[in-house]
Amino acid sequence: MDEQATFNHPLQTFPEHLIRMGWTSHFQTALEELPSPCTPARVIGGCKNSFLVNQGTTPFSVAPAATLEYTPEGIQPVVGDWVVVKDEIITSVLERRNILVRGAAGSKHKQKTGQVKEQIMAANIDTVFIVCGLDRDFNLRRLERYLTLVYNCGLTPAIVLTKADLEQHPQQRADEVEAIAFGVPVHLISAHEENGLSALDGYLAPGQTVTLIGSSGAGKSTLINRLYGADLQATGAVSKRVGKGRHTTTTRDLITLPSGGMVIDNPGMREITFSDDHGALDTTFPEIEFLTRSCRFADCSHTHEPGCQVLDGVASGQIPRERLDSYLKMQRELAFFANKEQKSAPQIEKETWKGVSLKIKAMKKGKKKG
């Protein structure tokens, strides 16, 4: 393991090797608030019991401290996190700038069983690439869901349309996407021919972190390979029968590109489930939000009410019916999840510490038996 860079108080000039990995004043301030000098590192891979971290030179393996599980926050490291490392043990996770989070896989079909669980996919991100293939993967309604997911997390999206060489009229497809993704950059890419890749350079400057989301077979791994200039990620063919790709990416890793930028790949998402409601629909569907202000009733559901300007917009062709249906569907989902999350702070804390107490009792019982 390389010599670790230890930081002392007061605030010091940031080391260049950490700046290249995304270190900013946000993390420096969080580090300075800790009671003693600490060693920061960034999580670039791993799982629940073992993580790969880097301080700007050679990656090394660390394990999370058992005490992390028993903090009131219950914060566990994820790829993209900055953590404090002592004797090859992660002792704490520095305050995150942001996270990309969704409802845990399967929660879409378990809504009646209780509170929706969250799955944090990545942390401390500058841009989210929503990757969509111009083959059978192309779906405007799915792109709307991805945009809502990204906006719900307070993150910045860019849409990357891959496999442009397989589409007879790629620019027409790009125009269709721009019509539903107001103000979001849309990039046409043919990764096999490397057409359009240079347009992504601005997102991948040194110290910048991009994460990729999209369906299996959308071309995320192929895109990373082309950006890196070598085959790092396994790729698989898309089934001609069903038009779906296989999960060639099964883990999350932070990869540093020759440009100095960093990318985090994610396994393909079979379902796009929300975990909370932060008003993202207003950003994804600005034209519907604009017309809503003129509806006769403040609580208009845009389904049957007289004087509904949104329905008038559909009737006149201003808003496609499919787009309103997509909006209403996500509105119902987000309202459901918001109701599930409406617990008081004391109740949440009580439930958290109850779980901690049970785990500690189980540990003590196990020691007595031993």
pLDDT > 90? residue 179: yes
Shared domain check, 246 and 103: yes
Distance in angstroms (rounded) separating the CA atoms of residues 277 and 151: 10
Shared domain check, 137 and 81: no
| Angular region, 124: left φ>0, alpha ψ -120 to 50, beta rest | left
* Segment holding 214, helix H or strand E: strand 209-214
Q: Are 257 and 227 in contact (CB under 8 A)?
A: yes
Q: Are 224 and 233 in contact (CB under 8 A)?
A: yes
CATH number, domain of 43, equals 2.30.30.140
| 3-class state of residue 263 by DSSP | strand
Shared domain check, 244 and 176: yes
The domain boundary residue, chosen from 60, 76, 93: 93
Which of these, 258, 232, 256, 234, lies nearest to 246 by C-alpha position?
Answer: 234
Residue at token pair 């992390």: 68
Residue 310 lies in a domain: yes
Distance in angstroms (rounded) separating the CA atoms of residues 131 and 215: 8
Shared domain check, 253 and 124: yes
Distance in angstroms (rounded) separating the CA atoms of residues 280 and 334: 9
Shared domain check, 105 and 248: yes
| Of 196-200, 236-240, 272-276, 283-287, minimum mean pLDDT range | 236-240
DSSP 8-class letter at 67: G
The domain boundary residue, chosen from 93, 115, 148: 93
Residue 113 lies in a domain: yes
| Of 94-103, 141-150, 200-209, 289-298, minimum mean pLDDT range | 94-103
Shared domain check, 104 and 86: no
| 3-class state of residue 331 by DSSP | helix
Shared domain check, 197 and 153: yes
| Of 84-93, 111-120, 321-330, minimum mean pLDDT range | 111-120
Query: How many structural domains is the chain composed of?
Result: 3
Distance in angstroms (rounded) separating the CA atoms of residues 50 and 291: 51
Residue 206 lies in a domain: yes
CB atoms within 10 A of CB 43: 25
Distance in angstroms (rounded) separating the CA atoms of residues 1 and 34: 24
Shared domain check, 109 and 214: yes
Shared domain check, 297 and 209: no
Q: Are 264 and 289 in contact (CB under 8 A)?
A: no
- For residue 186, list its beta bridge partners: 159
Distance in angstroms (rounded) separating the CA atoms of residues 117 and 329: 20
Distance in angstroms (rounded) separating the CA atoms of residues 246 and 217: 6
Shared domain check, 224 and 167: yes
CATH number, domain of 311, equals 1.10.40.50
pLDDT > 80? residue 338: no
Going by pLDDT thresholds of 50, 70 and 90, the confidence category of residue 309 is very high
Kindly report the pTM of this predicted structure.
0.80
Query: Exposed, middle or buried, 240 (CB in 10 Å: 0-12/13-18/19+)?
Result: exposed
Residue 276 lies in a domain: no
pLDDT > 70? residue 297: yes
Structural domain span for residue 87 = 16-93
Residue 367 lies in a domain: no
Distance in angstroms (rounded) separating the CA atoms of residues 19 and 266: 24
Residue at token pair 């869901």: 145
Shared domain check, 240 and 195: yes
Q: How many residues does the chain have?
A: 370
Residue 274 lies in a domain: no
pLDDT > 80? residue 239: no
Taking residues 183-202, report their average pLDDT: 87
Count the helix, strand and coil residues of the chain and give each as a percent rounded to the nearest 5.
35, 20, 45
Residue 165 lies in a domain: yes
Distance in angstroms (rounded) separating the CA atoms of residues 259 and 193: 19
CATH number, domain of 204, equals 3.40.50.300
Shared domain check, 105 and 254: yes
Residue 147 lies in a domain: yes
The domain boundary residue, chosen from 211, 229, 264: 264
Distance in angstroms (rounded) separating the CA atoms of residues 133 and 176: 14
- For residue 118, list its beta bridge partners: 103
Q: Are 124 and 96 in contact (CB under 8 A)?
A: yes
Compute the mean pLDDT over every residue in the chain, rounded to the nearest whole number. Answer: 81
